[in-house]
Structure formats: C-alpha cells, structure tokens
Structure 1
C-alpha cells in the first residue's frame, strides 16, 4: 500500500485514509455486483422473498463479507496498537505473541474432543486459549522487564510449538480437522449478518472500555516508574488491557479464523503517520486495518471469479505481512537482549565416565528400538528377524537426521555466536520445505530434482539471513528474528497451498510431520552413510569454529580467512539441514538443544561438541521415533513431531535462563 507524502499534516493523511476506504468499498461492490434486476437501494433493503438469486447473494453474502473484512481488519489493528502500547514493543501483535494461535488450537481441541461445547459458545473457548497463550508468553518474557526481543522470541516459538500440536491432531483426525483448519486459516465467507453483528457488538464494548482507559494507557509510554508517579496503576491497567486484547483477538479468530499479519501491518502503518497519542493511533490503525484486509479480500475474490482459485484470505495476508515483520526487525527493535554472547552457564570439563554413559545409553536406545514393542497382547521383546528388517531402516533414518541436525546446530551456534541458533529457528528448515513445495507445484517428478530444489532453497535462505544482518554485527537476536520472519514467509506460502484444497495436501502433511515409515533399507543405508560423511567433513572445521567463537577480527588476525570459512560453513549447514528436513520434515528442535546438552555435559571444545551433540541427537531421534510408534499404539506419532513436542519444552526452559 503506497502512502501519500509524509510531509502532509495529519488531517490530510486522515482524509486520504478515509477517502481510500470509501472508494475501495464502492469499487468492491461494483466489481462483485451481480445484476439483481432492481436498483441498489431496493436490493439492499428489500425483503429476501422478493429478490432474485443474484440480489439475495448480494444482500446475504457479498455485502456482509465486505463489512466483515473491514471490521475484522480494524479490530485486529486496534488489538495490535493496544498490545504495543501495553508492552512497549513495536513488534507486538496478535500473531507475534501467539494470541491467535492459542485461540485457534483451543477451537481445534474443543471441536475434536468436546464438539457439544462448540454449540454453546465458540468464542469463549477461543478466549480461554488466547489468554493461556498470552500468559505463557508473559511468563517467559517477564524476566528483564518484558524485553521486546524476549517477547517476540517466546511468541514466535510458541506459534511453532502450537503448530506442531495442530499438525499432530490433523494427522490423527484428518477428516474431522480438515474443515476447521481450512476455515481457521482465514476465511471471510459469510452467509448472513449474524457474525457481523456479533463481532460489531463485542468490538464496540471493548472500544468503549479502551476509550475510557485511553488517558492512562497513553501514560504507559512514559515508562512504568513515571506512570506510577502520576498515579497510574500500571500492573492492573496492563492486565486489564491484555485481557481486552485477548478478547478482541479471540472474537475475530472464532468467527473468521486467523488473519495473518493484518493487525501488525496496520499498527505499524499508524505509527508512521506521525500520530502521537494512543487514541489517534488506534483510530488510524482501525481505518488502515479495514482498508488492508478489504483490499486483500477483494483482490482474492476477483482472482477467484477470473481463475477459479480459492485462496485463503488469512494465509495470503500472512504472506504479504511477513516482509513487514522483517523490515520492522531492523527499524524498530531496541538494543539486543544478550550483550555477552559467551556461554551463559558454567561448563565443567567432561570426564571418561560421561562418555561411557553416553555410549551405553546410545546402545540401550538402539536395542530397545529394535527389539522392544507392544502389540494387541501388550509389551514384549521380539527377536524375530522380520521385525528387525522392518525396524532397522527407520532407526537408521532417525539417527541420520539427528546427526545432521546436531552438526548443523553446532555450526550455526558457533558461527553466529548465538546460543539459540538452530536450523529450525533460523528458517532453514522452512526454506527447504518451501523449495520442495515449489518443485511440486512446478510439476517436478524426479525425487533427485526435488531434493536439489530443497538443498538450493536451504542455501539461499541461510545466505539471505546472513546478508540481511551483514551491517548489524551478526547480533544473535536479530539473526534469530530474521530467520523466523523468513520462516513465517515460507510457512505462509505453504499454508496457501494447503488451504487451497489441493489433493496432494494430505501426503504433503504426512511428510511435513516427519515420519520414518517410508524408510527402505537402501534409502536408510545411504542416508546414514551421508550423515556420517558430512559429520567427518565438519570435524576439520572445528578449529575454524573455535576461532570464530572469539570474534571475526581476532580470527582474521590469527590467519583465518573469515569470509571463505563462513561461506563454507553456510553451505555445509544448509546441506545438513536440507537433507534432514527432506527426511523428517521441517519441525524439530534437536538442532537447538543437542549442542546445549553437549556443552552442559562438558564438551565445550568445537571438536568434542560436534561428536557429543551428534551422539545425543542419535539417542534423542531414535528414542522419539520409538516412542512415537508405541505411546498411542496402534496409532503412530511421527518422529519429527515427537521430537518437536519434546524439544519445545527445552526451548522454554532456555528462554527462562537467558
């Protein structure tokens, strides 16, 4: 959206916004108009029985959808401004703080397991889910005074974690969950005015409350101490404001699903209009949000009429808004959260008993995965050769993925001096998945070509992250947020594909979940050999990783060609990530916590850390694959999802330590 000159005064800007909104409404009606055989005013207000089919569609579908688009966009925009004011965080919004994701997962769980409760009040359960997600984000980020970077990291990772839960539920209840997942990805389709009226009523009540609290809310921008000195009850006001924001978000999600980055985009645009007060920013954001969502939905409706493509409004909005999040990371973020990028915990040297215990544990897990299982008669130890032939390819594939993810995690954490860097959090896994999706959409049928597309996309993604951060000193938080913004862009692209109803979506979902059930002996043997070869190739780079851990200038002074080394590490990490993603899908936290656990056990030198992290990852992935096959027998949780669900808990623990 191109704004007029920023040198215009605020009144002219307001006139431009309102005029554009009115003009777009008229254009939308004219484009989507169907000849009803009667004048417009008669069609809009006539009795339904007296209208033709086209006139009835205009009255009960086209016009309610237009109003709902404006209302939902405006409500999410006000929600974004309110969250930013309460947290003093320029990136805060319903999606970046996982409020929308919490509402969505709550609706999904209630729909699948307690469907009768949905007949009561869907918005209540969405509100409960939004509150719980917001509470988790605040609990993780309350240390250091709700630091903006900490909040966004907690919110975006919680989004990933909840996404893993959603995908698990979709695999087990594919038929029941497909409809609600397609709807919750963002659909403005209406069959009357009931939802519009309900959302308008709830939003109106919250807006009245916000108007009453506008003055004390404005004082929060002065800081907590100054606001308290002026008599503002900061903590109660913040809690009330957060509840109001959660209620607004849950109301929208319960009626039209998730609308991507619409709220963040409108809130950011309102701040760049030069408006100073909270009240004026909220009003401007409402108008901009309404304009943005209406414009997006109108374009999609035109596209549907011309081509027959039925794209989700929410998924497309997320696709458009992800670059905005990337831009805001560099324009609006404060100073970094972690000033000292050294190890955050004291590391004791490893001992030989530690190595022996790891070896024994690895052997135990491998044997249990091969021989211990349950069937209709309960748990038993099976030494049958046929069972061994079925299980060992899955074991090898899970181990190969673990080795690759752990090696890539060590390389990325050492290279970027970022204790939270990993293939999953930097968006490399999502980039690989996007490359595969693009290959599938282009009709690529050769598996080798698909794999090459995935590897190429991973290399491009990591190179783009480093390029975007070349002038910021590779600050860990900015690298991490850049990767997550790029991951959000790729995820939006994938969601557009899944929400379009393509018949290949279910098979793609199985791959995204990270299952090893398609492993064959030849494939598994080839992958484990490739993983071990790549691990061996990374060992000579241990000295380079050690020098890079000092800093680039010192490493250069010690004779290291920093630029060439970084390029080699980028390519190696991207290949490792791409291969593991192609095996087990894009979601897994092994690349994050295996290097940390290796350090915790005393393997703090790069060479030792590489070997220990690979061993730990093998144990973790083989155990995750075995546990996923047994925990809900006769059903199965894929290894990638199982590792994601287990590893996400470690990330939240790590957030509390930083």
Structure 2
C-alpha cells in the first residue's frame, strides 16, 4: 500500500496552504463588507423571504465562489494526473491544448449546431479535448514521449486552434461574442446547478483516480520497470488521459478556460517536495482551489471599486505565463535533446529550380490581380478600377512575406534553431502587446503606434536572448522561452478583448491579418521598405553563415559576435514589427519559408534569404487571393489564411523531426 505520510521535516506545504487560506479569508471579508451584503445567516433562508440583494448573493455570489474553488481544484488534479502520465513537468490542460480543443468544439457546435448544445455541452467539450490531446500525442511521439516535443506540439496546437477561433469570430461576430467572452474564463453563476454537476463529475473521477493511485505512482519508475511490476502501462495511460480530458472538458463547458491555474497548482505541489502521487493530488487540489478563489475574489473587489469587469481566466493566464517561463528553466531536463534534421543531404539548387520559382511567382501575381469570383462565377477581370483596388493588397501581402521570411532566416541562423520564427518566439505577440498598451494609454497616432511596436519587438527578442544566455542558446529552450512570453502577451490581449471594449472588433480584424486597409501610397511605401531591408540583410549573409557554425568558432574566424548579434536582433525585430503592424501577429510564413528554401537546395545564407523571400511572396499573395475567393462573398484575412496553411506544414515538420 502506498503511504501518503509526509516526512516530518517536509511541512512547507502547511505554510503555503495556511498563507493562501488567510489571504482568501481577508479578501472574502473585504468583498463581503464592500458589497454591502447582509448577515450571512440570511443567505440560508428561504429564497422567497430574501431581499433582492440577499437573493443575488445566495444564487450568484456564493455559487461563484464555490465554483472558483471547484474549478481550480479540478484543474490542479488534472495537471498532476497529466504530469504523472507523461512524466512531463510542464504538462497541464493548457500546455497540451486540452482546454483549447474543448473550447473550439463548443464554439463550432454553438455556431453551427446550436440545438446540440441543449442536449449535453460537456459531451462536445470532451470530444474536442480528446481529439486535441490525441493530436498532441501523435505529433510528439517519437521513440517515447519527450517533454520538450510534447509541450512544443501543445503550444503550437494552441496557436493553431486560436487561429480557427478567430476566423469563426470574424464571420460570426455577433453570435460568437457571448461565447468567446464566456470561454475566456467566466465564473459568473446564476444558481447552484453547475456547481452540483461539477461536484458529482469530479467526485466520480476522483474515486477512479484514487483506485488507480498505486499503479499511477509506479509510472514514476519508468515504463519498463512499471511493466516488470505488473502494471499495464499502455492501458493505464490511456485510461488516465481519458479521465484528465473528462475533468478538463467538464470545467471548460461550465466556466471556460482558466489560464494556467492547473499548471500553477500542480507545479507548486511538486516544488514543495511532495513526490507521492496521492498526496500531491490532494495538496494540489487545495492550492488550486485557493488560488482561483483568491484571484476571482480580488477581481470582484476591483470591479466594485473601478467598474472593470475582467475575465478571471484571462487574468489567470496573464499571471501564470511567468510561471511557465520559470518552469522552463527549473523543471526541464538539461541539456535538452536536439534531434532536428538538417537538409545538407539535399542536392543544391539549379537553374530549373530558380526558373520554376520565377514562373510560379509571376503566375500567382497575375492570378491574384485578374482572376476573381463574383455573382456570375469565375472569370478574368481586366477592369482598371478593380486592378487599382487589388494591387495595393497584393503589394502589402508581398511586403509582409518578405519581412517575415527574412526575419525567419536571421532568427534560425542566429539561434541555431531550425524551428525559430517571429511567430513562435513571441516577437509578433510582443509587437501586438506594445500596440495594445499604447492604445490603452490613449495613443492613437500611427507614427507613435509604429514606434511602440518596433520598441516592443526589440525588447521581446532581447529578453529571450538574455534569458537563454547562460544556457548556451539551446534551440528548444529558446523556442519555449519565446512561446511562454507569447502566452504572456496573448493573455494581456485576451484581457482586453474579454473586457467588452468597443474597439475589440476592429482589433480582431487587425489581429487576423487583413489587407483591406491597403492604399496605393501605403502599399508602395511598405514594399519599398521591405525590399530595402532585404537588401540590407544580404551583406550580413556571411555573418549568418559563420554564426551557423557556433559563436565560438565564428569568433575565432574574426567575427565580432556580440556586435553582429546586436545588429541582427535589431534587424529581425524591425522586420517582425513592421510585418506585424501590417498583417497582425498570426502567420507561420517566417517558419516554413526558410525551411522550404533549404528543401529546394538553397543552403547558403545568401541564397536562402533570396529564395525564402520569393517563397514567402508567393505564399502570402496566394493566401490573400485564396482568402478572398474561397468563401465568397465573405473573406478570410490573409494572415489567418496563411496561419491555417502554415500550421499544417508545422505539424508535418514536427512529425518528420
């Protein structure tokens, strides 16, 4: 029998729980006092005898507080269970895209099959969670479940599902507004029914977990040793993953996504020295319940005094992103596995390859300008007025593609990370966050907004490199650091969107990467800047080639590595910021255009820069044209279209590497 007794000297968890409990009691007393609530005994009276204020407290405030504790505790146990099953210290409902899968499933069913929601919302959330978790496991499994690959797959799938959600929100803005505000993490309750339902489901699953606690504890020994002790590892892991998906789906279907609440509680219980699975689960439940209760109570107090109605889930994600960053450096194995393949075995490019690329580029440009769809079907439109409307969008898409591809080549060469890109390293999200903060501060001048975006991009990339300086710029750690910072910025943006700000819809259009605002003057200026920056990057090709060897060897060959890195950081940040300000932060072109250039045989940095820029132009122009035609008369913005197409390539890359 597995003991749950703790060593006498290991009682730090007592102090943690005691401190959290004290803070929760203080915040509850403040909330009770500031809300002008009646004596608490009245709340247990017959509802027909209560005043309106007391009735609201009985049927709304109290259920909300209990739901906060339940949701936080359930997600904490879910996090502990996932970490035990995958032996991954960063595993949780959000890092493995389980919550995102449940959310997108609910959104799709709500928009297209609303009658199904009257049946069982949790069933569709559960199916979405299972599908997304299965995708993460399929993408990350290669000779075992390696922690880094799993988290990378989960965080990328989060971005991809976020792109799908944004696409649906743009097409069904009115229908989706309510569910998106709710799914961002709202604990608002109108009775006790959801609390009772979640309590029943959690109790059933907790009993199942308790019965499986002994074999689950043995998974810590490793699969081979657990099998030798008679543990059916595969069946146990599948059963545990289903239980975790059910817990997560139950919470998401009732209160939406709760940020990093589960990860925070699970990590806290482990870092308190609790290694027994059963004990860790119980302590994590208490920590998660108190953490989410404290967060929600403080937000309610803030709403009473300022009128700010902030989403609990979005704020929790904002608070939890730094925790993810800390765990990357504390909990992941060092050194991280590096098993990415290069493309040196591919034959270098030849003249036919260049000719085919040029023909394809010209063909795509002509199709984008002249081939269209309208009420009369497909036809070639040579009308001059239509051409004047289309060519600015074409130039803007091409300019963004050139900038993202150039930044992608620089980042991949400089960080020695073949999966680095402006989107995955959080630079695009940092740019967007800088613009958001400027808007919140009342800055509306386009010049100042562009300066804020460029400054935020430079600051983001600098922070990423500083964080990883002592770890030798390990590729996977750089990538995870950038994605953690991106999660922080995305949470900030979600706080803004979930607050119901009237500017949210226009912000969503910009985030999606639409080119509708392009004018001839703006487009001509941007394509000129993009070409100028590409030309300026060409003399740095030799430096990129030396850095690809490694910084020490580059230094021995006469390269001033610190100065070169600073120049490349500024150039990559400017390229990313300008492309983000044009088409928003969502796109994978900066990732896969450099890869495709290498696959085609463009190995040298100079050749790769030129080829990647050409490929990105073709891709972005095609994405803009396809987005305008595929669902005519509606339109999918170029940035989102490129995200949906590029995300599929990234998943293929994950499987191959």
Scaled to the shorter chain, the TM-score interval is: over 0.9
Tell whether the 8 Å contact from 1:402 to 1:620 is kept in structure 2 after alignment: yes
What is the aligned partner in structure 2 of residue 503 from structure 1?
Answer: 502
Tell whether the 8 Å contact from 1:347 to 1:604 is kept in structure 2 after alignment: no
Q: Which runs of 5 or more structure 1 residues have no equivalent in the other structure?
A: 1-5
Q: Do structure 1's residue 654 and structure 2's residue 653 form an aligned pair?
A: yes
How many Å separate the matches in 2 of 1:526 and 1:480? 32
How many Å separate the matches in 1 of 2:54 and 2:547? 69
**Counterpart mapping for 1:603-642 below 5 A:** 603-642=602-641
Q: How far does residue 30 in structure 1 lie from its aligned partner after superposition?
A: 5.3
Deviates more, 1:419-428 or 1:22-31: 22-31
Q: How far does residue 557 in structure 1 lie from its aligned partner after superposition?
A: 0.5
What is the aligned partner in structure 2 of residue 45 from structure 1?
Answer: 44
Q: How far does residue 61 in structure 1 lie from its aligned partner after superposition?
A: 1.1
Tell whether the 8 Å contact from 1:259 to 1:318 is kept in structure 2 after alignment: yes
Q: How far does residue 9 in structure 1 lie from its aligned partner after superposition?
A: 3.5
* Residues 500-522 of structure 1: per-residue CA shift (max 9 Å, x gap): 01110000000000000110000
Tell whether the 8 Å contact from 1:76 to 1:262 is kept in structure 2 after alignment: yes
* Residues 87-142 of structure 1: per-residue CA shift (max 9 Å, x gap): 00000000000000000000000000000000000000000000000000000011
What is the aligned partner in structure 1 of residue 466 from structure 2?
Answer: 467
* Residues 294-318 of structure 1: per-residue CA shift (max 9 Å, x gap): 1100110000000000000000000
Deviates more, 1:7-16 or 1:148-157: 7-16
Q: How far does residue 40 in structure 1 lie from its aligned partner after superposition?
A: 2.2
Equivalent position SS for 1:199 = helix
Q: Do structure 1's residue 32 and structure 2's residue 32 form an aligned pair?
A: yes
How many Å separate the matches in 1 of 2:23 and 2:514? 50
Equivalent position SS for 2:518 = coil
* Residues 66-97 of structure 1: per-residue CA shift (max 9 Å, x gap): 11101100000000000000000000000000
**Counterpart mapping for 1:149-228 below 5 A:** 149-228=148-227
Q: How far does residue 275 in structure 1 lie from its aligned partner after superposition?
A: 1.3
What is the aligned partner in structure 2 of residue 374 from structure 1?
Answer: 373
Tell whether the 8 Å contact from 1:147 to 1:337 is kept in structure 2 after alignment: no
How many Å separate the matches in 1 of 2:57 and 2:513? 45
Instruction: Give TM-score, length-normalised by structure 1.
Output: 0.97
Q: 1:396 to 1:450 in 2, by over 3 A?
A: same
Q: How far does residue 62 in structure 1 lie from its aligned partner after superposition?
A: 1.2
What is the aligned partner in structure 1 of residue 564 from structure 2?
Answer: 565
**Counterpart mapping for 1:176-325 below 5 A:** 176-325=175-324
Tell whether the 8 Å contact from 2:13 to 2:269 is kept in structure 1 after alignment: no
Q: How far does residue 10 in structure 1 lie from its aligned partner after superposition?
A: 3.9
Tell whether the 8 Å contact from 2:27 to 2:294 is kept in structure 1 after alignment: no
How many Å separate the matches in 2 of 1:103 and 1:336? 34
Instruction: Give TM-score, length-normalised by structure 2.
Output: 0.97
Q: 1:35 to 1:433 in 2, by over 3 A?
A: closer
How many Å separate the matches in 2 of 1:564 and 1:30? 54
Q: Which runs of 5 or more structure 2 residues have no equivalent in the other structure?
A: 1-5
Equivalent position SS for 1:329 = helix
Q: How far does residue 348 in structure 1 lie from its aligned partner after superposition?
A: 1.2
RMSD of the alignment, in Å?
Answer: 1.5
How many Å separate the matches in 2 of 1:518 and 1:123? 40
What is the aligned partner in structure 2 of residue 56 from structure 1?
Answer: 55
Q: Do structure 1's residue 543 and structure 2's residue 542 form an aligned pair?
A: yes
How many Å separate the matches in 2 of 1:506 and 1:220? 47
* Residues 479-498 of structure 1: per-residue CA shift (max 9 Å, x gap): 00000000000000000000
Equivalent position SS for 1:379 = strand
Equivalent position SS for 1:423 = coil
Equivalent position SS for 2:373 = strand
How many Å separate the matches in 2 of 1:593 and 1:557? 31
Equivalent position SS for 1:348 = coil
What is the aligned partner in structure 1 of residue 3 from structure 2?
Answer: none
Q: 1:337 to 1:348 in 2, by over 3 A?
A: farther
Equivalent position SS for 2:469 = coil
What is the aligned partner in structure 2 of residue 3 from structure 1?
Answer: none
Equivalent position SS for 2:379 = strand
